[in-house]
Amino acid sequence: MRPLMRADLHVHSSASDGTDPPAEVMRRAALAGLDVVALTDHDTVAGHAEARAAAGPVTLLPGMELSCRLDGRSRGVPGGIRVSSPRGWQSLHMLAYLFDPGQPMLAAELTRIRDDRVLRARAMVDRLADLGVDVSWEQVAAIAGQAVVGRPHIARAMAASGVIASPREAFTRDWIADGGRAYVDRYALDPVRAIGLVRAAGGVTVLAHPRAGRDTRVTDQQITRLAAAGLAGLEVFHPDQSDVERARLLALASDLGLVATGGSDDHGSLTGYRLGCETTSAGAYQDLLSRVPGSPA
Ligand SMILES: [Zn+2]
Ligand SMILES: [Zn+2]
């Protein structure tokens, strides 16, 4: 057994909103001394082939980060669910690993999410036009290129048009921040359904950064319900989670029999290059693999 194994199970590339192409991510992973890297782009597996070809000495764990929502109204949880989002529902992120992306139900869901992203981005461009902002869909699509189109691309088009000085300024209530004048809501999966879809496709799920920010804060009660639905792990070690929250999440993972994982959530230069700044222990990694449906372990 190797004395040390370093596994970063949460990494983005330019296939979603990271700045570096998948091959560059794998090259940096090797430089960072990582043994395992999970490529977990938002709602897409488009980067896997390139990452696999460039993996070199690093083991690629194919993954994805699914955007989910808990609808506060339709859940009969005693005491109610605290909805902390201005949208009236709560978003959460679900990491998924080792699933078959071609499994028909999962594939259909991914197509739906991807199609919706385009419709939503177009709708936001329309609203900006109504507000007098000179940004076209063609510009936004050109900026996004091969990536899944999203608000960062619209923000860059807005900056290019001169209506704002830098892309960051687009994320206010005046423009495309959550609940902003030109904001359009998006389609997102119910997390219990996401867990089921990924399991049916032969994979495992880990709840991403449950305590990283107000908008994606998931309560103990909600995590307990997800564990009962087949969740395999909790992301405990994440740059945006405090030591206090980590200790709480570790205790909860232990109580619920969930794997405690870690990852950098690296987005290239956007987050400051930080591959491997948080990792998953060798034991937790093996435990996660043993929970893959049909695993011999
Ligand atoms: Zn996330
Ligand atoms: Zn992420």
Ligand that lies nearest to the alpha carbon of residue 266, given by its number in the listed order: 2
* Confidence bin at 114 (pLDDT 50/70/90): confident
- Two tokens, residue 227: 């564990």
Residue 150 C-alpha to ligand 1 middle, in angstroms? Answer: 14
d(CA 250, ligand 1 centre) in Å: 19
CA distance 17 to 55: 20
pLDDT bin (cut points 50, 70, 90) of residue 2 is low
Percent of the chain with pLDDT over 70: 91
Residue 129: how many other CB atoms lie within 10 Å: 14
Q: What is the pLDDT of residues 248-280, one digit of tens each?
A: 999 999 999 999 999 999 999 999 999 999 999
Average pLDDT value over all residues in the chain:
91
Ligand that comes closest to the CA of residue 16? 2
pLDDT at 83: 37
91 C-alpha vs ligand 1 centroid, how far in Å? 10
* Ligand 2 center from residue 261 Cα (angstroms): 13
Categorize the per-residue pLDDT at 72 as very low, low, confident or very high, splitting at 50, 70 and 90. low
Q: Tell me the DSSP string of 135-201.
A: --HHHHHHHHTTSPP-HHHHHHHHHHHTSSSSGGGGSSTTTTSTT-TT------B-HHHHHHHHHHT
Question: Distance from the CA of 16 to the center of ligand 2, in angstroms?
Answer: 10
CA–centroid distance, residue 3 to ligand 1 (Å): 30
- 62 C-alpha to ligand 1 centroid (Å): 16
Q: Is it the case that residue 159 has pLDDT exceeding 90? A: yes
Asked which of 3-7, 155-159, 250-254 is least confident by mean pLDDT, the reply is: 3-7
The whole-number pLDDT of residue 178 equals 87
What spacing in Å lies between the alpha carbon of 199 and ligand 2's midpoint? 20
User: Would you state the pLDDT for residue 175?
Assistant: 97
For residue 118, what are its two tokens? 């385009």
